[in-house]
A and B are shown apart, each in its own frame.
Chain A
Amino acid sequence: MDESQARQPGELSFIVILLIGAVALLWEAYRIEGFPSLSGAGIFPVLTAGVMAVSLIVLLVKETRSRTQVQQEASSATEGWLVQVAPPKIIGYMVLCGLYVASIEHAGFWLASSSFLMISLLLLYKRNLIPVAVITGGVVAFIYIVFATIFQVYLP
């Protein structure tokens, strides 16, 4: 089997999730004006959401015919998904980013950003606290000087 015919672990489920989203969009597009007139506000959203759904159905049919390609180090599809598509390290970091974005309004931009940078560097860069604190201080100072002072950008 050549590689183009193989699918990644979890690809089918991902396409199904996208398809559910596309159908929801199609329904929302239909709600604009019911069955849309040819030059109405609803015609293009219906057509586009329809194209999304059809392309996903085509993909779904194509992918169900192919076999999941799991790397040798993974013993099952779930393990393959965790190795090839969504390693726990990346998912964990996404959660950290989510917490950072959610905390900006409550903790303020500077505190949230400094904490996020420090934790990120400790987790990814894996150095002692001193170099991490120096880099964090440098980046935050750079943002303050360049964006807040020179470019006069409003910060969250």
Chain B
Amino acid sequence: MEVALSYFLMSFTDPYLLFLVAMGTLAGVYVGAMPGISVTMAASVLISFTFSWDVNAALALMVGVYCGGVYGGSRTAILLNIPGTPAAVATALDGYPLAKLGEAGKAIGICTVVSVIGGFFGIIVLAIGAPIVSDVALLFAPRDFLLLALIGLLLVGSLSEGGLAKGIFAAALGVVIGLVGLDSLTAQPRLTFDSPSMLGGISYVAAMIGFFGLAEAFYQMRLLHVAPVKQDVSRITPSIATVLKFLPLSLRSSIIGVIIGALPGTGGDIAALIAYDQAKRTTKKPTRPFGQGAYEGLVAPESANNAAVGGAFIPMLTLGIPGDAVTAVIIGALYVHGLKPGPMLMIETPHLFWFIVGALVLANAFLLPIGLTGIKVMARIMSVPRAVLIPCIILLSVVGTYAIQNSMTDVYWMFAFGILGYFLKAYNFPVGPIILGVILGPLMDSSFRRAVMSAHNDVLEFLASFLTSPISACLTVFFLVLVFSQTPLWTKIFGRRAAVNATAPSQ
């Protein structure tokens, strides 16, 4: 317990780590606020510079960037109607109408406070829930990890834009990228096209920077002409009465956020949209109609997407399965640092868990002063033209990719993924599942083959094993329900029932 506490407080007491968390949060807020730079892009570019660092220092920076980035995305959503991050899409629905009504300052203030409330809620759940999940995860068989990874990919594939087929293709593409190189069990070359340079595999950080950094930079060129709008952002600290008024909704939305965040594959973006929908349905007297500047429409998504940060760390640290695209990037970084997120992480390196929890608390605490001050600097940063930003992102992407293992081959891969990513985005293919697939591919491969081996290579025994243990049976049922929910039959049954329910009150 004492050791855990000392690691929890480490980032508070070590000035260097304190500085890194603060700088990470600051960078995250400002980078997240820049239209066109998603928090995933920021994390994937920034973490590549930390590979030579001590693991604690690298984690301190990453945690800060993650927390700051998720919050920072709300700024541009409110001021420019351009969500800085996917998690801020729901925020723009009522945030921008508020800015048009001249209440941008008040909206940003409330956003900051509820983001911090949501963030702390998520961290509390992480601190309590992760050790429990980790204990349960020790009972997991390889087939359970396979099912969890499949559930994650199916969830992210089905919920992303462009439809299920595009989502599944994207996830499978990611898995294939993750499988290139020597097989971890038999050392056989796989998918290398007889090229010796591919035997070592494709660096997943190069893939991440390519798909999220370069592709996004190319895509942002479509919006070169969009000019920033100046808003009145004075007086942003909300009164205590205002905070107390929105507290119940904030806590309700935080619960949704942390649950959605903890599901493998789903993160702040989906949590925010579900919380917004929940607020819309349950708030009887909103400050204004939803979509026209209701503060409730701002409180719900912002509480949820920040609570989802803590939630997303649960499957990442306890199961080695990313909660969303950013945690997929962080898992990649942990691998580079020689750590293996999963059930054994809490046993072999429990201090790391408490260090992350401590850094998250600190980053959330920093959000308040950073969010409520520095508005003028923020306004200036946000007005940096895309025409200047895009070449800088490309330059940083090259430097960051090369820094991973000092290899120009990685840079060439990054460039190729950037071009492919641009066209995938242009044709409405989701990019998030690719990164999840890259991380989950090797885990699914080894879990599948271990599960088959433990069933003595017998197909029937292998299939029966999914129903023999309670954990496997629960996961199998959940997976099958998810698959069924994507069929036309599901829409026929439940779509009709929903239509009946919707018309019932008016009759």
A contact set with B: CB distance below 8 Å: 8, 11, 14, 18, 25, 28-29, 32-33, 37-45, 48-49, 51-52, 55-56, 58-59, 62, 84-87, 89-90, 93-94, 97-98, 100-101, 104-105, 113, 116-117, 120-121, 124-126, 135, 139, 143, 147, 151-156
Q: Which residues does chain B contribute within 8 Å of A56, judged by CB atoms?
A: 165, 169
Q: Residues on B close to A: CB < 8 A?
A: 49-50, 52, 165-166, 168-169, 172-173, 175-176, 179, 183, 185-186, 188-191, 193, 214, 218, 221-222, 224, 385, 387-388, 390-392, 394-396, 398-399, 402-403, 406, 408, 411-412, 415, 418-419, 422-423, 426-428, 441, 444-445, 448-449, 452-453, 457, 459, 462
A-B pairs under 8 A by CB, number: 160
Which of A40, A42, A97 counts the most B-chain CB atoms under 10 A from its CB? A97
Task: Provide the bound-state CA to CA distance between A143 and B426, in Å.
Answer: 31
In the bound assembly, the distance between CA atoms of A70 and B214 in angstroms comes to: 27
A14 close to B406 (CB less than 8 A): no
Chain A residue at smallest Cβ distance from B221: A90
Q: A43-B449, A104-B411 are in contact. List 9 more A-B contacts (CB 8 A).
A: A41-B190, A55-B165, A56-B169, A101-B398, A101-B415, A126-B387, A135-B388, A156-B398, A156-B402
**Alpha-carbon distance between A37 and B188 when the two chains are bound, in angstroms:** 14
Cα distance, A58 to B157, chains bound together (Å): 15
Interface of B is mostly: helix
Taken together as a complex, chains A and B put the C-alpha atoms of A125 and B388 apart, in Å, by 6
Q: Name the one of A42, A58, A104 contacting B398, with C-beta atoms under 8 angstroms.
A: A104
Complex contact B457–A37 (CB within 8 A): yes
Question: Is the pair A41, B49 in contact by a Cβ cutoff of 8 Å?
Answer: no
Set of chain B residues within 8 Å of A117, measured between Cβ atoms: 391-392, 395
B392 proximity list for chain A (CB < 8 A): 117, 139
* Alpha-carbon distance A42/B190, docked complex (angstroms): 7
Chain A residues within an 8 Å CB radius of B423: 14, 85-86
Tell whether A124 pairs with B445 under 8 Å between CB atoms, given A14-B423, A93-B218: no
Query: Which among B176, B396, B462 has the greatest number of chain A C-beta atoms within 10 A?
Result: B176
Given contacts A8-B428, A87-B222, A116-B395, contact A52 B388 (CB under 8 A): no
Q: Which of chain B's residues have a CB closer than 8 A to the CB of A40? A: 186, 449
Q: Note all chain A residues with C-beta closer than 8 A to B398.
A: 100-101, 104, 113, 156
A94 and B188 form a contact (CB under 8 A)? no
Q: How far is the CA of A14 from the CA of B395 in the complex (A)?
A: 28
Is the CB–CB distance between B172 and A32 below 8 Å?
no
Tell which of A8, A44, A155 touches B399, judged by Cβ atoms closer than 8 Å. Answer: A155
How far apart are the CA atoms of A128 and B351 in the complex, in Å? Answer: 55
Q: Which residue of A lies closest to B458 (CB)?
A: A38
From known contacts A43-B449, A153-B52, infer whether A143 and B399 are also in contact, taking CB-CB under 8 Å: yes
Given A32-B188, A38-B462, A125-B387, CB of A154 within 8 Å of CB of B427: no
- Please give, as numbers and ranges, the residues of chain B lying within 8 Å of A125 by CB-CB distance: 385, 387-388
Report the minimum CB–CB distance from B190 to chain A (whole Å): 5
Q: Which residue of A lies closest to B444 (CB)?
A: A44
- Give the docked Cα–Cα distance between A14 and B418 (Å): 16
B391 adjacent to A124 (CB under 8 Å): yes
A52 touches B426 (CB 8 A): no
In the complex, A153 Cα to B52 Cα: how many Å?
8
Say whether A101 contacts B411, CB under 8 Å. yes
Which of A38, A43, A104 counts the most chain B CB atoms within 10 A?
A38
- Contacting pair A151 B427 (CB below 8 A): no
Chain B residues near A116 (CB, 8 Å)?
391, 394-395
Cβ A121 vs Cβ B387 within 8 A: yes
With a cutoff of 8 Å between Cβ atoms, the chain A residues found around residue B173 in the complex are: 52
Known contacts A38-B459, A39-B453; A151/B49 CB under 8 A: yes
Known contacts A8-B428, A55-B168, A90-B221; decide if A113 and B395 are in contact (CB<8 Å). Answer: yes
Within the complex, the shortest CB–CB distance from B407 to chain A, in Å, comes to 9
Is B176 a contact partner of A52 (Cβ separation < 8 A)?
A: yes
**CB pair B222 A90 closer than 8 Å:** yes
**Known contacts A14-B423, A117-B395, A155-B399: does B406 contact A29 (CB below 8 Å)?**
no
- Given the interface pairs A38-B462, A39-B449, A125-B388, the reply to whether A52 lies near B172 with Cβ below 8 Å is yes
- Residues of B near A59 (CB, < 8 A) are 165-166, 169
